Amino acid sequence: MSATRAGDDRLRDAHPAATLAVATLTVVTVIALCRVFPDWAYLRPMLAVAIGTHVVAFVLRVVRAPLWVALPVLLVVVFVLLGLVYYRDTLTLLFPSGRTIELMRIDLRLVLDQFSSAVAPVPSEGSFATATAATVAVCAVLADTFAFRAVGRIEAIVPTGVLFIFTSALGTDNHRVVVAALWIGTALATVAVLRFDQHEQDATWMGSRRLTLVAALPAILVTIGLGAVAAGAVAPNLPGAGEKALIDTRNRQSSVTEVLSPLVDIRARMKNRGNTELFTMQSSDGAHYWRAIGLTDFDGSSWGPGKEDLTEMGDRTGEVRVGGARVTQILTVKGLRDKLVPAAYHPVQIARDDVLWASESDTLILPDDGTLERDDVVAMASVVSDLSPELLRSATVDGAPEGTTSLPSGFPDTARTAAVEVTAGAATPFDQALALQTFFQQNFVYDLNVQLGNSNDAIDAFLRDRRGFCQQFAGTFAAMARSINLPARVAVGYTPGDLASDGLFHVYGRHAHAWPEVWFNGIGWVAFEPTPGRGSPDGDYTGLEPSQDDSRGSGANTGNPGAVTSVPDRDPSDPDTSSTLPGGGGVGPGAGSTTTTVPVAAAGSGGTSGGGTVALVVFGAIILFVLWVLVAPRAIAALTRRGHRNPRDRVITAWHRACHSLTLAGAPPVAGATPLEYADTAEVATGVDHRTLRELAVQVTRAVYAPVGVDDVVATRCETLEAEVDAMCRTRTPLKMRMRCMVDPRLMRRRLAG
């Protein structure tokens, strides 16, 4: 019996109810991270880490482990939980191995490198999710320590509060009202539970039980509900609530026609500018990839162009090693403000004297003081080589430009090993490139919501997660190709765009693309396509069907299509909303002339009305009120019956209920009076039947002081007497007070629980 009692004492001293409250706040904080991640894939593993941390912290308090032992143990537990949840394949007998530690270090470096430039939503799987889970676990450890070892209240919600505020500032607008109301309500509940758990006091009235958490629960719930409803209803309507943030962490105020740089993450153009029309292209020979630049330098962090001299373009037809179709193009700038001029590869002639040629990267580029501006028209010609698998299989690669097979120190061995395994059995460099292309096309998933970058760490993470978009596919293909001595680089540009009824290809932000190129002697740079769901119209030799993002804005832009746009809304009848394309199918003075009118794409609307949210919150508040009035009295009565099972407690409870009814009727208890004295006073003040009240006073006195006590028959009789007193008092209680008893949890508790 003593062992059982000691176990019960330990369990009670570990504060299970308060632990549940603190853990619930951590869970709500994890749910609130939906504003940082694009989907809910992060939720289950992160909850596993958070809840597991709280469970272990609770067990350590049950066994009464001192703080200097508990903190190191908790940190080790967090480390093990992260390994179990996020790096399970690397564990040894369920414990982290050297590979686990290496992957954790890679993910940490990725987050540190990209944190300053990352824009929400960040990937729900990968290094950001892992780092966030570790942060949540540390917050759980701190919250548990503040609440139960430092006996704090507000201090216990500070760690998760800091995380909540931080992620709210950096997150998107998804569910912001609901999430804020939920977190605030849970934080209030946690403070209230900690207060009652840490400061239980004996009541002053004779025979009453201590003020318990169960007794205070209705008041706590009402406070939470009212606070959450008030936050949800009032916050959206506060002055300035709908205005832009004081600090725009998502750079939404920048122009959507910024200079296109291959060093800038193209995912931002694909998502945030997915519905922004960048340019139109008129082509004499149908669809092509519109290539902007080739990136040859890889420093282990990113791909960039090499240093090279710029020369006048002139006519470079003679530089094309393998003949093919001559394609004339007319580019009309819409939302693209750039120094790079996209064209079908290989460009050979251009009808603008200010456009220069970078021969190493095969790039058309404007000088330092020049950029493409809206409504600029550029006519040019390209030669698209006619390549076949047979021709490419016969080519070698040993004469590639200098530096196109070099890799930086620290290039991951996993990538090098994978390249060797994937290309094993490939007889020629061309077959090796095809093997790499097939490896990515068939074993990876296209996903914009993944880790950014092409650094060594990002490559390792990409090969592990096998999810990414064109930036990762192109960069990793090129790096892996170099690891097996295939000369490779990354090309940046656009897929063909949407062919409209006007005969023009309309190229939007979602058509931004990157792909790898491999060098072959006697041929030059040849494009491959490792990105799933993509295929170049010029790549018959790759075996892939031409394909691109043709969602027309419905799928590629997962952000707010109306949030960014290169063109303001304008009246279609305004003559300035169209552009005239001069020129024809040729380049130079001898070209013919045609005129095509291109309507400017209308900007989508991304605004949302707050009226629906307010109405929903008000409706929810009404439902909560009705449920409270109907359910709360029954719940309190049920809890009271379950807590007061012995006859003595039942009699005392009946007496306190009667006293409460008499108080509402105008006869509050007199300090220091015995039950019999109070019965006499109350009978005079209220007119309640003296015999009923006196009998109840006699029985409660016996229950408290008599050594024999009372039995169930007496307890049942007292409950009947209390009901009679309550009925007599109701007619004497003012209507306003009776209405308060229906909603005020304090009055409700006193009436039902005593």
What are 528-540's pLDDT values in tens digits?
Answer: 999 998 999 988 8
pLDDT (average), residues 577-581: 32
CA–CA separation, 20 vs 435, rounded Å? 54
pLDDT (average), residues 471-485: 92
Q: Which pLDDT score, from 0 to 100, does residue 573 have?
A: 39
pTM tops 0.85, yes or no: no
Choose between 237 and 387: higher pLDDT.
Answer: 387
Q: Which pLDDT score, from 0 to 100, does residue 560 have?
A: 33
Q: pLDDT tens-digit profile of 300-315? A: 877 888 778 888 988 9
pLDDT (average), residues 591-614: 35
Q: Which pLDDT score, from 0 to 100, does residue 450 have?
A: 65
Which is nearest to 312 in space by CA: 353, 345, 341? Answer: 353
On the question of pLDDT at 564 being above 50, the answer is no
Q: Which pLDDT score, from 0 to 100, does residue 629 have?
A: 57
Choose between 212 and 624: higher pLDDT.
Answer: 624
Q: Which pLDDT score, from 0 to 100, does residue 272 have?
A: 59
Choose between 500 and 232: higher pLDDT.
Answer: 500
C-alpha distances in angstroms, 204 versus 193, 208, 214, 672, 709?
22, 8, 19, 10, 22
Q: pLDDT tens-digit profile of 155-203? A: 888 888 888 888 877 777 778 788 888 898 888 888 888 877 765 433 3
Q: Which pLDDT score, from 0 to 100, does residue 416 have?
A: 92
pLDDT bin (cut points 50, 70, 90) of residue 628 is low
On the question of pLDDT at 553 being above 50, the answer is no
Give the HSE-up count for residue 163: Cα atoms under 13 Å, Cβ half-sphere.
28
Choose between 314 and 559: higher pLDDT.
Answer: 314
Max mean pLDDT among 413-417, 436-440, 552-556 falls in: 436-440
Give 604's contacts (C-beta < 8 A, 6+ positions apart).
275, 553, 561, 562, 565
Lowest mean pLDDT among 242-246, 489-493, 509-513, 721-725: 242-246
pLDDT (average), residues 696-714: 83
pLDDT (average), residues 272-300: 88
Q: Which pLDDT score, from 0 to 100, does residue 361 have?
A: 87
Choose between 450 and 168: higher pLDDT.
Answer: 168
Mean pLDDT of the chain: 76
Q: pLDDT tens-digit profile of 46-90? A: 999 999 999 999 988 888 888 888 888 998 999 899 989 888 888
Q: Which pLDDT score, from 0 to 100, does residue 111 have?
A: 76
Lowest mean pLDDT among 366-375, 515-524, 575-584: 575-584
Q: Which pLDDT score, from 0 to 100, does residue 224 have?
A: 56
On the question of pLDDT at 447 being above 70, the answer is yes
On the question of pLDDT at 639 being above 70, the answer is no
Q: Which pLDDT score, from 0 to 100, does residue 37 have?
A: 84
Lowest mean pLDDT among 69-73, 208-212, 315-319, 522-526: 208-212
CA–CA separation, 203 vs 36, rounded Å? 47
3-state helix, strand, coil in the chain (%, to 5): 50, 10, 40
pLDDT (average), residues 345-360: 90
User: Could you state, in order of their start, the residue ranges of all structural domains in the chain?
Assistant: 2-199, 266-599, 611-753
**What are the DSSP calls for 452-515, one per residue?**
---SHHHHHHHHHH-EE-HHHHHHHHHHHHHHTT--EEEEEEE---EE-TTS-EEEEGGGEEEE
pLDDT (average), residues 599-610: 33
Max mean pLDDT among 28-37, 93-102, 332-341, 381-390 falls in: 381-390
Q: Which pLDDT score, from 0 to 100, does residue 648 have?
A: 85
- Cis peptide bond prior to 121, omega within 30° of 0: yes
Q: Which pLDDT score, from 0 to 100, does residue 626 have?
A: 59
On the question of pLDDT at 482 being above 90, the answer is yes
Which is nearest to 20 in space by CA: 46, 45, 57? Answer: 57
